[in-house]
Amino acid sequence: MSTSYSKICISPGHGGADNGAVYGFTEEDDINLAIGFYLDYELRLADVSNYMTREKDKFVSLEQRSMEANIKKPKLFISLHCDAYHKKTASGMTVHVYKHPSMGALRAASLIGRQLQIHFPLHRYRGIKKSNFHVLRETHMPAVLVECEFLSNPDTRKFLREPENQKRLAQAIKRGSIKYLDEIGG
């Protein structure tokens, strides 16, 4: 695809001293960053300009993430995370939008969610959830937060640790994002 798109903001969750969920010697911030790098690479291959809120294991506040996005004004903000729950059997992928979402955020979430379903048919898809997360509430563009699977589940943690699966997650998110940009003429 040779079309040049406006920027997408990739925001790998947590970082630095904020590891996020930690299970089985696996830190969420590391998985989020790995998926973020794959997503950055996949979008660049598709000629989609983008930027990341962090490119190394450092802390970036939620306020910094949303403020930077609001200044740079991308067409879409994507926050990357892994889920966790006290029940080790919990599993699935979820796409979050703000509790009062824009139509753009809902559409982007739907398209990304559909690609996750297509590319990971053996994984549970938990749907689109409305949430009050800072990066969804404080960004002034369509924003989604993707929970890629559960770190608390030993089976899905093993899945998340595999670089090939991290790349496949990034490819699915990329496809949904590009479909969204195509629809809005981005």
What pTM did the predictor assign? 0.96
Q: What is the DSSP string of 143-161?
A: EEEEEEEETTSHHHHHHHH
How many C-alpha atoms does 89 have within 13 Å on its Cβ side? 0
Burial of 177 (0-12, 13-18, 19+ CB in 10 A): buried
Give the pLDDT of the chain (186 residues) as one tens digit per residue: 344 446 999 999 999 999 999 999 999 999 999 999 999 999 999 999 999 999 999 999 999 999 999 999 999 999 999 999 999 999 999 999 999 999 999 999 999 999 999 999 999 999 999 999 999 999 999 999 999 999 999 999 999 999 999 999 999 999 999 999 999 987
Q: DSSP secondary-structure letter at 176?
A: H
Q: Are 120 and 93 in contact (CB under 8 A)?
A: yes
CATH classification of 5-184 is 3.40.630.40, yes or no?
yes
| Separation between Cα atoms, residue 132 and residue 128, nearest integer Å | 13
Answer whether 84's CB lies under 8 Å from 27's CB.
no
